[in-house]
């Protein structure tokens, strides 16, 4: 239980209008799901402004509302219109972060923080699964990995949580540093440095510099877990202070947590040999697709070993890992057609890995790559879209379908690699209906199809429409 006056101790220059002794128990940023005795914080986002819903929040039982000074000044009658107390702050997002930092200090769990260009969420989920039998773990939900998601996760902490496993992402310079000012890691995991959000950071060097902030924020005697296969391994290693430990993972001969003899049997069976300290070998099974998932597993194994989980328990737990939605998730449709759905997000490294993974298990089946736009690549967009087109052709995909505004460049890359024109199709973003009908009518039985694209391409709509049309329910279809 807290009281409104507690905010005056934590948030600079907060103004409390109303009864400062009002008790509250929760924080909410969504008036649709608000609970009684919740403090509603009005956040201004890209699409919605929480200030538009403060009256609804009060009607649903909010203990009070937190608004920005500019809004309060623009609405001088607000204190008369609202039946609940008002807290006025300069910036509601900054206030949320400050309160989360204070709240975290009340519990002080062991902090494991994960960042990287690819594999953050899968690695986080693997870590949680490996630790769950020994520790009471709180994890960041879904993609709660930014300046709003991290504080909201922290506010779910309870006294019985031993470990906090937090995913951290960055879409602007300095964001990781801001997040680690809220929660400093005891263990920092960097999965890799890739091209994700390249257009926002301008270069991979800048991305590496941003991710390195997680290591720089480590507590004394903390541990950095870094990908030995990554081109930026040496740079990241040099960021570690003498008071901290480094554990490397990867296929590299010098990796401390090393994978050997990787093989993919089918879309649900992946095997590799695990080598620890250069001497102890173990066979590991993952019910996943993609060599990159071996790297994710190695990072999670490194964390689990550091947290004193027995290796046999680690291996057994990984064999039951289910993966995360929309990440190399397979689906079998009518006529034995297998879809590999990987469109939670897309960048050049992830797209190339997905192309290689599907090609490796095709085993003579007719294979199709349906590639949507990879977004936020800035000036490098044309180059990287041509590059994935090159790879699709080099891997001998039977059909390549480019979908979106950059499709021309995917096709251009494939043609430069020698792919025949009759194997290449192009649909613009507004031609989703035509694309789906083409798929239903043209894809051969027992084909395997990779669907890969950035989140904003809404590739999942293609699958849903395909299901509807293939069942003869064209009347229910809406483009």
Beta strands (DSSP E) in 6-151 are 15-17, 23-24, 26-28, 38-41, 64-68, 86-89, 110-115, 137-139
pLDDT of res. 479: 43
In this structure, the strands spanning 448-452 and 338-342 are parallel
CATH class of segment(s) 329-476: alpha beta
Tokens of 423: 């194997």
Helices (H), 217-361: 233-237, 292-306, 311-318, 348-361
pLDDT of res. 433: 87
Question: What are the structural domain ranges in the chain?
Answer: 2-90, 107-318, 329-476
Fold classified for 107-318: 3.40.1190
Tokens of 144: 């709660």
Instruction: Give the HSE-up count for residue 146: Cα atoms under 13 Å, Cβ half-sphere.
Output: 8
Reference 223, options 311, 122, 118, 303; nearest CA is: 303
Whole-angstrom CA distances from 453 to 244, 290, 348, 377 are 38, 16, 10, 13
Is there a contact between 109 and 183 (Cβ–Cβ < 8 Å)? no
pLDDT of res. 326: 67
For each of the chain's 479 residues, which pLDDT tens digit applies?
899 999 999 999 899 999 999 999 999 999 999 988 999 999 988 788 999 999 999 999 999 999 999 999 999 899 888 999 999 999 999 999 999 999 999 998 999 999 998 899 999 999 999 999 999 999 998 778 889 999 999 999 999 999 999 999 888 888 999 999 999 999 999 999 987 777 777 788 899 999 999 999 999 999 999 999 999 999 999 999 888 999 999 999 999 999 998 999 888 899 999 999 878 899 999 999 889 999 999 999 999 999 999 999 999 999 999 877 767 888 888 888 999 988 887 889 989 999 999 999 998 899 999 999 999 898 899 999 999 999 999 999 999 999 999 999 999 999 999 999 999 999 998 998 899 999 988 999 999 999 999 888 888 888 888 888 776 644 444 44
Q: Is 278 exposed, middle or buried (0-12, 13-18, 19+ CB in 10 A)?
A: exposed
Tokens of 388: 């994935």
From CA 8, how far away is CA 286, in angstroms rounded? 50
Reference 268, options 357, 396, 348; nearest CA is: 357
Cβ neighbours of residue 349 under 8 Å, at least 6 residues apart? 117, 118, 192, 194, 195, 196
Whole-angstrom CA distances from 112 to 123, 141, 214, 271, 283 are 11, 14, 11, 27, 26
From CA 259, how far away is CA 257, in angstroms rounded? 7
Question: Which residue, chain included where needed, has tokens 């019985």?
Answer: 160
pLDDT of res. 267: 82
Q: Is the dihedral of CA 344, 346, 349, 354 positive or negative?
A: positive
Q: What is the CA angle 163-226-179, rounded to 5?
A: 50
Is there a contact between 294 and 262 (Cβ–Cβ < 8 Å)? yes
From CA 120, how far away is CA 248, in angstroms rounded? 16
CATH class of segment(s) 2-90: alpha beta
From CA 239, how far away is CA 210, in angstroms rounded? 12
Whole-angstrom CA distances from 91 to 85, 210, 435, 447, 468 are 18, 24, 45, 53, 46
């Amino acid at each position: 239980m807290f009281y409104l006056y507690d905010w005056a101790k934590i948030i600079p220059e907060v103004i409390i209008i109303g009864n400062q002794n009002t008790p509250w128990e929760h924080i909410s940023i969504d008036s649709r799901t608000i609970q009684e005795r919740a403090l509603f914080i009005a956040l201004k986002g890209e699409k919605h402004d929480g200030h538009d819903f403060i009256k609804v929040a009060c009607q649903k039982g909010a203990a009070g509302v937190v608004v920005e000074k500019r809004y309060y000044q623009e609405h001088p009658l607000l204190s008369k219109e609202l039946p609940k107390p008002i807290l006025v702050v300069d910036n509601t997002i900054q206030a949320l972060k400050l309160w989360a930092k204070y709240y975290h200090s009340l519990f002080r769990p062991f902090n494991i923080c994960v960042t990287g260009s690819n594999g953050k969420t899968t690695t986080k989920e693997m870590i949680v699964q490996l630790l769950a039998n020994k520790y009471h773990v709180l994890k960041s939900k879904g993609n709660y990995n930014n300046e709003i998601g991290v504080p909201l996760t922290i506010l779910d902490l309870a006294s019985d949580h031993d470990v906090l496993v937090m995913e951290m992402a960055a879409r602007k310079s300095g964001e990781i540093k801001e997040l680690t000012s809220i929660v400093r890691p005891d263990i920092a995991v960097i999965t890799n440095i890739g091209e994700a959000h390249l257009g926002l950071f301008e270069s991979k060097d800048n991305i590496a510099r941003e991710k390195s902030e997680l290591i720089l924020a480590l507590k004394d005697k903390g541990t950095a877990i870094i990908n030995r296969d990554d081109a930026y391994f040496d740079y990241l290693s040099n960021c570690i202070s003498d008071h901290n430990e480094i554990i490397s993972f990867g296929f590299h001969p010098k990796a401390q947590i090393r994978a050997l003899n990787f093989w993919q049997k089918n879309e649900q069976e992946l095997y590799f040999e695990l080598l620890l300290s250069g001497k102890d070998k173990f066979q590991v099974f993952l019910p996943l697709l993609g060599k990159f998932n071996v790297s994710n597993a190695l990072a999670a194994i490194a964390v689990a070993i550091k947290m004193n989980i027995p290796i046999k328990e680690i291996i057994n737990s990984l064999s039951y890992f289910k993966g995360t939605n929309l990440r190399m998730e397979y689906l079998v449709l009518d006529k034995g057609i297998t879809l590999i759905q990987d469109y939670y997000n897309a960048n050049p490294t992830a797209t190339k890995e997905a192309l290689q993974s599907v090609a490796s298990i095709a085993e003579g089946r007719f294979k199709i790559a349906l590639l949507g736009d990879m977004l936020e690549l800035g000036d490098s967009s044309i180059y990287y879209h041509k590059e994935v087109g090159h790879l699709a052709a080099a891997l001998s995909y039977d059909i390549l379908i480019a979908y979106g505004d950059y499709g021309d460049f995917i096709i251009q890359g494939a043609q430069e690699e020698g792919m025949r024109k009759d194997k290449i199709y192009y649909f613009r973003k507004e031609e989703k209906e035509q694309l789906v009908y083409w798929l239903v009518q043209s894809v051969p039985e027992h084909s395997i199809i990779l669907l890969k694209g950035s989140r904003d391409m809404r590739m999942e709509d293609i699958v849903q429409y395909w299901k509807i049309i293939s069942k003869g329910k064209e009347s229910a279809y809406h483009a």
